[in-house]
Chain A
Amino acid sequence: MSFPKLSRRVSLAVIGSLFAVAAHAHEPRPGPNGGWKVDAGAWHAELVADGTTTVVVHLFDAGDRPVSAEGWSANAILLVDGAAQRFDLAPDADGRLTGTAAVAVPKDVKGAIQLAAPDGTTAQAKY
């Protein structure tokens, strides 16, 4: 008889702990390349926008060591002037992810980057 009750408690606790984790992630902080760096899954991602249409994303591991973007794929959803701009980011020769938006992207842009690692792991970064 106690089994369903126990499982309910466990499920509540698990859900609660998930929420607790979700709340403390993704605090933007200045990155080494002049952009904003946030947590993205097991990695850190720095978004650099300089007022042009070009957007660059630098990847780091959990210890903030640079990670090459080779083999990665990503897409960006950035909000510019109240409209969502969606475009893909691709690895470039310097091991970064670069993409081109349809409009100029300001430095403190709001948005999200969805990342896919070479091993298929996905992560999201929120700015």
Chain B
Amino acid sequence: MRLLWGVVTALIFALAGAANAHEGHDHGAPPPPVSTTIAPRVEAASTTFEAVVVARGTEMQVFIDSFATNEPVTGAAVEIDTPTGILAGTETEPGVYAFAAPWVASPGSYDLAITVIADAGFDVLVGSLTIPAPPAPPVVEASTAEVLAASVLGDLRARLSARDVSLAVVGGLGLLIGVVMMLVLRRPRRSGGAKVAAIFFAVVAAAPEPGKAEVAVANAALPAPATATRDVAQRFPDGGLFVPKGTQRVLGIRTLLTVNEKHGRRIELPGRVIPDPNASGYIQASLEGRLVAPEGGFPQLGSVVKAGQLVAIVEPTIGAVDLADRQQQIREIEQQLELVTKRLERGRQLSNAIAKTEIEELEIEQESLIAQRDALMSLTDISESLIAPVEGVIAAGQAIAGQIASPGVTVYEIVDPDRFWVEALSYRSETLGTEAVAVFADGTTVDLAYQGTGLADQGQAVPVRFSVVGQAEGLRAGQLLRVIAATPADQEGIVVPRDAVLRGANGQLVVYIKTNAERFVQREVRVEPLDGDTVLVVAGLEPGLRVVAEGAELLNQIR
């Protein structure tokens, strides 16, 4: 029982607390207005211009764009022949012309002839602007419970917005009553009658006073929808888009008229940058030894070296075993030398008894032994000078004094920064033309010239080499890229910018087609590589369409 009262008390507290919390608060930002209406409009087009007339309030806004490119037509003289006379427009924004026309506020159908005289040409566009009758207000059927809830909530909201003190008073009273109740109920010795009296008091006090208990009827709680000041882009259930001209201007939508063209067929190969084999070199030691810096120190990464420049000196190191071996050899030679010398001396003293040839042999042997000994003794002095084989820049490698250089290990790699090649891998045996383009990950392109194709497979692919044409800034050996190489075969298709082709929700490649002034639809396409900036649509489009060339990605984000 006590638990129940505790719950009731807590509830009273909670309600009082809730009322306090809402005091002075707004209920978050109002929900964004839903675009239930699109301003009455008509579009008219010729081969030069495209016009969209939007009736808004008591004026007409006319958006004039180039038909083919969707570029706003600025600085034009625009006149409209209306049923009430000829109107001259004023350009309020670039490519937007405003006309005062109070009659567009009344429903009806109005024939308009729009005369556009611009630098790009002149034309008369015709269209019929239909202003619909205002829609009847929607009738909402609601159950009694909904009406009651709405009325109570509406009343609460009205009180909150009016900062009615009665709310605070009621909240505070609730708090007070809760405290009193707690005190009363926690005393077990109180009589049941007192308990009932206390609860009765609490209920009566908490109930709204009869005078203020009038429940406000949901007096047309729904506010009248305000006239939209702009139209909102929408996606149709069929995937098409309605994009008002104003939004198109913001998104910078540009189109191009599709034309069938014949281009050489291109293939795309993965590749990477390599140094020009004739303008790069390795510096390697031919014997094991310690590196010693030349005069001026070791060249560092990125420093320029000339062909023939001394970049490092290798001082051969000799192991302890080698040293002992050599000393032993020297001792043996010296021993033989001593024997030979003594025999030679003896022979010379007894020159009459010994054949002259024998003395000569001994002399030759002595000379040979001396030469052998000197050679062995001077071996520690041989050092190797490491010379740059080509002119270029130190691209890789690091030399530190005292570092041990081994034969075959690269100390430095020298690259000519102006001369790079590209090695691509071709998985199909294709005959390639001379032209090719390298496309980097960031979209930059570099022209290439075909040099040759290897015949030995490398991982089931044939290496194809291209040289970079002209100066290429910022290339690094090892950079990965795509090579778009020409083949002798021809291919027919429609050229569109690479950015115009998007990946649809299902993974297919799509482009946006502008079917009308403010309507865009997706088309599935099949594309082949062409060059770094454009692709060739070989299926899915026909000539004479308007493809969105710029801003397609932004259109795709419209939901």
| A interface, CB within 8 angstroms of B | 3-4, 7-9, 11-13, 15-16, 18-20, 22-23, 26, 75, 77-79, 82-84, 86, 110-112, 114, 122-127
Residue of chain A at shortest CB distance from B515: A23
Say yes or no for B234: interface residue by CB 8 A criterion.
yes
Residue of chain A at shortest CB distance from B138: A3
Instruction: Classify chain B: how many residues form its interface, as a range.
Output: 35 or more
A52 CB to closest chain B CB, in angstroms? 20
Give the CA-CA distance A9 to B36 in the complex, in Å. Answer: 9
- Would A110 and B517 count as touching, CB distance under 8 A? no
Q: Which of A20, A78, A79 has the most CB of B within 10 A?
A: A79
Chain B residues positioned under 8 Å from A16 (CB to CB):
236, 240, 242, 519
Chain A residues positioned under 8 Å from B138 (CB to CB):
3-4
B12-20, B38-46, B159-167, B379-387: which lies at the interface: B38-46
- Would A19 and B81 count as touching, CB distance under 8 A? no
Near A by CB (< 8 A), chain B positions 401-421 give: none
- Would A7 and B36 count as touching, CB distance under 8 A? yes
- Would A77 and B113 count as touching, CB distance under 8 A? yes
Say yes or no for B471: interface residue by CB 8 A criterion.
no
Chain B residues positioned under 8 Å from A124 (CB to CB):
111, 113, 126-128
B116-124, B205-213, B309-317: which lies at the interface: B116-124
Give the CA-CA distance A82 to B117 in the complex, in Å. Answer: 7
Chain A residues positioned under 8 Å from B122 (CB to CB):
79, 82, 110
Say yes or no for B458: interface residue by CB 8 A criterion.
no
Near A by CB (< 8 A), chain B positions 91-120 give: 111, 113, 115, 117
- Would A86 and B117 count as touching, CB distance under 8 A? no
Chain B residues positioned under 8 Å from A123 (CB to CB):
111
- Would A114 and B113 count as touching, CB distance under 8 A? yes
Additional A-B contacts beyond A20-B515, A110-B124 (10; CB < 8 A):
A12-B234, A13-B236, A16-B242, A19-B517, A75-B81, A79-B124, A112-B124, A122-B83, A124-B111, A127-B124
Near A by CB (< 8 A), chain B positions 50-98 give: 79, 81, 83, 86
- Would B35 and A8 count as touching, CB distance under 8 A? yes
B390 CB to closest chain A CB, in angstroms? 65
- Would A22 and B115 count as touching, CB distance under 8 A? no
Say yes or no for B499: interface residue by CB 8 A criterion.
no
- Would A110 and B236 count as touching, CB distance under 8 A? no
Give the CA-CA distance A122 to B82 in the complex, in Å. Answer: 12
- Would A84 and B38 count as touching, CB distance under 8 A? no
A126 CB to closest chain B CB, in angstroms? 5
Say yes or no for B237: interface residue by CB 8 A criterion.
yes
Q: Which of B79, B115, B138, B236 has the most CB of A within 10 A?
A: B115
Q: A12-B236, A79-B117 given as contacts; is B36 within 8 A of A4 (CB)?
A: yes
Give the CA-CA distance A11 to B138 in the complex, in Å. Answer: 15
- Would A20 and B516 count as touching, CB distance under 8 A? yes
- Would A11 and B128 count as touching, CB distance under 8 A? no
Q: A9-B237, A86-B81, A110-B122 given as contacts; is B36 within 8 A of A19 (CB)?
A: no
Give the CA-CA distance A18 to B127 in the complex, in Å. Answer: 11
Please, could you name 28 A-B residue pairs with CB atoms under 8 Å apart, sorted by A? A4-B36, A7-B36, A12-B234, A13-B236, A16-B240, A16-B519, A19-B516, A19-B517, A20-B516, A20-B519, A22-B42, A22-B45, A23-B45, A78-B124, A82-B117, A82-B122, A84-B124, A86-B81, A110-B46, A111-B124, A112-B113, A114-B111, A114-B113, A122-B111, A123-B111, A124-B127, A126-B44, A126-B46
Residue of chain A at shortest CB distance from B44: A22
- Select B81's contact among A4, A13, A22, A114, beta carbons within 8 Å: A114
Residue of chain B at shortest CB distance from A8: B36
Give the CA-CA distance A23 to B125 in the complex, in Å. Answer: 12
Chain A residues positioned under 8 Å from B38 (CB to CB):
11-12, 15
Residue of chain B at shortest CB distance from A20: B516
Chain A residues positioned under 8 Å from B113 (CB to CB):
77, 112, 114, 124
- Would B519 and A19 count as touching, CB distance under 8 A? yes
Chain A residues positioned under 8 Å from B34 (CB to CB):
4, 8
- Select B123's contact among A11, A26, A75, A110, beta carbons within 8 Å: A110
- Would B135 and A7 count as touching, CB distance under 8 A? yes
Say yes or no for B227: interface residue by CB 8 A criterion.
no
Chain B residues positioned under 8 Å from A23 (CB to CB):
45, 515-516
Say yes or no for B434: interface residue by CB 8 A criterion.
no
Residue of chain A at shortest CB distance from B116: A79
Q: Which of B37, B79, B86, B122 has the most CB of A within 10 A?
A: B122
